[in-house]
């Protein structure tokens, strides 16, 4: 792989992928949202035809869950129609297409980790449009790789979440308040974007395709995640366990979205580190 176009490269995941590719001497083309709105299909077509990269990586998404509910057409355009068009163009131009999807395609009723064969049943517009996007991509391009990720954090802020990842938010709140209430009935596999970036060149080289789960090993509730952040940073704060009903949400969200990285394991490929080890490494890098 010599040349990659990365969409959403100013975002949390896209910036780590761009940095890693640059370190590997892969030429990166990284249009911003202002340079290129991915719903402008003609502009996408022009970019791909003119640049002919080896790989197109799409991390751009409309993933503010409540906003998706209010603007389903925009959510569909960004999360499904445009990625399907990218997949078609990549198939035509023989460009490898890598797209990112979400644990929110599941309804959270299973209570044991979801593998790639489990049937999605999204609860909200965000999850529905991402799931629609997965199907639309694969019907256009069998060689496309769709990586489902979960509960991301990275050193660059998540553009959609007002600039603070969960770790930084907890550390900020702990400075402001003596007691924090954190949800203990929602379970995830918190995953560092740097870990995803590190493994990506290998997944592309191995010509992986289809839907692949890519999360840290292990799982925790948000309460356990917060408590571990405070333990590892020696932060003194009381952390109460509360139910998700304590923070009434406008939009339904799945309670259990732990993903099993079954496809990678079946292929004998390296998995990502355990979430606690990855968190420790992230905190070390921040200091």
Determine the length of the chain.
Answer: 287
Minimum separation from the CB atom of position 2 to ligand NAP (A): 24
Cβ nearer to ligand NAP, comparing 226 with 237: 226
Contact status, residue 200 vs residue 26, Cβ threshold 8 Å: no
CB of 236 to ligand NAP, least distance (A): 28
Binding site for ligand NAP (CB under 6 A): 8, 10-14, 33, 37-39, 59-63, 78, 100, 102-103, 149-152, 158-160
Q: How far is the CB of 159 from ligand NAP (least distance, A)?
A: 3
CB nearer to ligand NAP: pick between 38 and 171: 38
* Closest residue to ligand NAP, based on beta-carbon distance: 11
Residue with Cβ nearer ligand NAP (123 or 237):
123
What whole-number distance in Å separates Cα of residue 124 and Cα of residue 228?
A: 30
- Tell me the C-alpha distance between 180 and 239, whole Å: 5
**Residue located via tokens 């571990």:** 228
Closest CB 20 distance from ligand NAP, rounded Å? 14
Q: Closest by alpha carbon to 135, among 123, 119, 150?
A: 119
Closest separation between CB of residue 188 and ligand NAP, Å? Answer: 9
Q: SS in 3 state form for 49-111?
A: HHHCCCEEEECCCCCCHHHHHHCHHHHHHHHHHHHHHHHHHHHHHCCEEEEEEEHHHCCCCCC
How far is 188 from 259, CA to CA, in rounded Å? 8
Would you say 93 or 160 has its CB closer to ligand NAP? Answer: 160
95 vs 214, beta carbon nearer ligand NAP:
214
Closest CA to 90 of 138, 61, 48, 148: 48
Specify the residue, 126 or 276, whose C-beta has the smaller distance to ligand NAP.
126
Minimal distance in Å, beta carbon 158 to ligand NAP?
A: 4
């Amino acid at each position: 792989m010599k040349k990659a176009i990365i969409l959403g490269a100013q975002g949390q995941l896209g910036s780590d992928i761009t940095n890693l590719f640059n370190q590997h001497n892969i030429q990166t083309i990284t249009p911003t949202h202002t340079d290129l709105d991915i719903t402008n299909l003609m502009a996408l077509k022009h970019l791909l035809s003119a640049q002919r990269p080896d790989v197109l990586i799409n991390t751009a998404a409309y993933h503010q869950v409540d906003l998706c509910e209010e603007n389903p057409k925009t959510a569909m355009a960004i999360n499904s129609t445009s990625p399907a068009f990218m997949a078609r163009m990549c198939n035509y131009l023989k460009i490898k297409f890598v797209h990112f999807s979400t644990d929110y395609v599941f309804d959270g009723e299973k209570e044991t980790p979801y593998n790639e064969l489990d049937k999605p049943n999204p609860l909200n517009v965000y999850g529905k449009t991402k799931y629609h996007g997965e199907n639309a991509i694969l019907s256009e391009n069998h060689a496309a790789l769709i990586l489902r990720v979960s509960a991301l954090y990275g050193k660059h802020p998540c553009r959609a979440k007002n600039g603070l990842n969960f770790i930084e938010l907890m550390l900020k709140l702990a400075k402001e308040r003596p007691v924090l209430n954190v949800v203990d009935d929602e379970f995830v596999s918190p995953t560092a974007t740097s870990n995803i970036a590190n493994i990506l060149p290998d997944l592309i080289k191995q010509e992986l395709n289809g839907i692949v789960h890519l999360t840290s090993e292990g799982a925790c509730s948000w309460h356990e995640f917060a408590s571990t952040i405070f333990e590892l940073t020696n932060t003194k704060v009381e952390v109460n366990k509360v139910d998700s009903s304590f923070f009434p949400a406008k939009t339904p969200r799945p309670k259990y979205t732990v993903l099993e990285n079954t496809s990678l394991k079946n292929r004998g490929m390296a998995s990502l580190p355990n979430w606690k080890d990855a968190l420790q490494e992230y905190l070390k890098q921040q200091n």
